[in-house]
């Protein structure tokens, strides 16, 4: 029997949208805002831009050697807040995840931006959270992360580079095509070749190189798949 102070939440069917910078994740999320059975959780970029008045995203790009560790620690925290967000809706769609934060850490490891010991600390935090974050007072969930599904918006580095230049987010001035290639390769190793990290869930790959009209058709197909998956 459930105690009166302990609510039993039915865990929402959770989907994470993954893909390179500028691959169209926000557009995908916007498409799902029209459905009243779905909680849409956008990535907390605004939080990263204002940590007690400090733009941590900008610092990470202007002085990556100094600020990457700090930035990744904060990303990891804010992503966990999204994962553990309580929702009564049957579906939850999230932009990125703690899992994709590992892609950025992996790239920092490969390009020697992080010290080895910094990587160890970030990975230890990550492992601990994955094992313990589902123990939340007032909430009973069955190991939430095994139910997550992943949608991978697979988009070529050239396409995302052009989109990024067009949207002209000021912090991303220094982002190079080479950096986008590195991130693309790591996302591919993880979600397409499936050789890098353990997969948190089944992956659905969407071609992110298409025009907006064609993307909307793919989003609709994807919606049907997601909404049909619920028991
Ligand atoms: P979209 O909607 O597909 O165009 O996605 P974006 O580009 O709005 O969102 P996202 O997550 O790819 O990136 C937002 C910015 O934050 C971008 O400059 C990359 C950066 N970013 C996101 N997650 C991480 C992370 O874990 N580490 C680092 N270093 N940067 C990250």
Residue owning the nearest CA to atom 10 of ligand 1: 21
Strand spans (E) along the chain: 13-19, 38-41, 91-95, 149-154, 203-207
Q: What is the mean pLDDT of residues 41-70?
A: 95
The average pLDDT across 138-156 equals: 60
- Ligand 1 centroid vs 21 CA: distance in angstroms? 5
Whether this model's ipTM surpasses 0.90 comes out as: yes
The two beta strands, 38-41 and 91-95, are: parallel
Distance of CA 79 to the CA centre of its chain: 7
CA of 167 to the centre of ligand 1 (A): 13
Q: Is the pLDDT of residue 8 over 60?
A: no
Is the pLDDT score of 169 beyond 50? yes
Provide the percentage of residues in the chain whose pLDDT is more than 70: 87
Phi and psi, residue 173, nearest 5°: -50, -40
Query: Is residue 184 predicted with pLDDT exceeding 80?
Result: yes
**Mutation test of ligand 1: which of 18, 24, 41, 43 has the most ligand atoms closer than 8 Å to its C-beta?**
43
Kindly give the number of the ligand 1 atom that is closest to the alpha carbon of 64: 29
| Distance in angstroms (rounded) separating the CA atoms of residues 125 and 54 | 23
Q: Rounded to whole angstroms, how far apart are CA atoms 51 and 73?
A: 12
174 Cβ contact list (under 8 Å, min separation 6): 61, 62
Question: Would you report the helix, strand and coil content of the chain in percent, each value rounded to 5?
Answer: 55, 15, 35
Q: Which residue has its alpha carbon closest to ligand 1 atom 11?
A: 21
pLDDT of residue 187 exceeding 90, the answer is yes
Give helix 177-187 / helix 157-167 axis angle, nearest 10°: 130
Q: Are 215 and 2 a contacting pair, CB within 8 Å? A: no
What residues line ligand 1, using a CB cutoff of 6 Å? 19, 21-26, 43, 45, 57, 60, 71-72, 75, 96, 101, 104, 172
pLDDT at position 107 is 96
Task: Tell me the domain boundaries of the chain.
Answer: 13-229
12 compared with 165, residue with greater pLDDT: 165
pLDDT at residue 205 tops 80: yes
User: Which is the catalytic residue, given 95, 158, 171, 178?
Assistant: 95
Largest separation between any pair of C-alpha atoms in the chain: 57
Judged by DSSP in three states, 46 sits in helix
pLDDT digits (tens, 9 = 90+) for 22-31: 998 998 899 9
pLDDT tens for residues 112-137?
999 999 999 999 998 888 777 763 33
- Residue 231: per-residue pLDDT: 42
Q: Does 171 qualify as catalytic in the annotation?
A: no
Residue of 21, 27, 157, 165 best suited for mutating to test ligand 1, as the one with most atoms within 8 Å of CB: 21
pLDDT for residue 143: 34
CA 162 to chain centre: 21
Which uninterrupted H or E stretch holds 217?
A: helix 212-229
Ligand 1 atom index nearest CA of 60: 29
Output the pLDDT for position 144: 37
Task: Please tell me which residue, 83 or 56, carries the higher pLDDT value.
Answer: 56
13-229 maps to CATH 3.90.700.10 = no
Q: What percentage of the chain has pLDDT greater than the value 90?
A: 50
Question: 38 C-alpha vs ligand 1 centroid, how far in Å?
Answer: 23
Res 9: pLDDT:
53
| DSSP label at residue 7 | -
Q: Which of 27, 28, 29, 45 to mutate to test the pocket of ligand 1 (most atoms within 8 A of CB)?
A: 45
Mean residue pLDDT across the chain: 85
Segment 99-122 mean pLDDT: 94
Instruction: Kindly tell me if the per-residue pLDDT of 140 is higher than 60.
Output: no
Give the range among 94-98, 111-115, 156-160, 162-166 with minimum mean pLDDT.
Answer: 94-98
Three-state DSSP state, 123: helix
Over residues 198-221, the mean pLDDT reads 85
pLDDT of res. 224: 83
Q: Which residues contact 229 (CB under 8 A, 6 or more apart)?
A: 13, 149
């Amino acid at each position: 029997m459930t105690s009166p102070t302990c609510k039993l939440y039915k865990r929402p069917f959770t989907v994470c949208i993954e893909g390179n910078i500028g691959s169209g994740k926000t557009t995908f999320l916007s498409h799902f805002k029209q459905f009243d059975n779905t909680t849409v959780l956008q990535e907390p970029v605004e939080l990263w831009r204002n940590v007690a008045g400090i733009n941590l995203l900008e610092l990470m790009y202007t002085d990556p050697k100094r600020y990457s560790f700090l930035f990744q620690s904060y990303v990891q925290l804010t992503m966990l807040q999204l994962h553990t967000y309580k929702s009564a809706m049957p579906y939850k769609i999230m932009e990125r995840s703690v899992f994709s934060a590992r892609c950025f850490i992996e790239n920092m490891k490969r390009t020697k931006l992080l010290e080895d010991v910094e990587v160890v600390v970030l990975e230890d935090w990550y492992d601990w959270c994955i094992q313990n974050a589902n123990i939340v007072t007032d909430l009973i969930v069955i190991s939430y992360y095994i139910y997550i599904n992943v949608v991978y918006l697979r988009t070529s580095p050239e396409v995302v580079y052009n989109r990024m230049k067009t949207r002209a987010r000021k912090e991303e001035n220094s982002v190079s095509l080479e950096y986008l290639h590195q991130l693309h390769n790591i996302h591919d190793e993880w979600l397409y070749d499936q050789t890098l990290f353990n997969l948190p869930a089944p992956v659905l790959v969407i071609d992110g190189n298409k025009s907006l009209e064609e993307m909307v058709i793919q989003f609709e197909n994807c919606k049907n798949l997601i909404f049909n998956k619920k028991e």
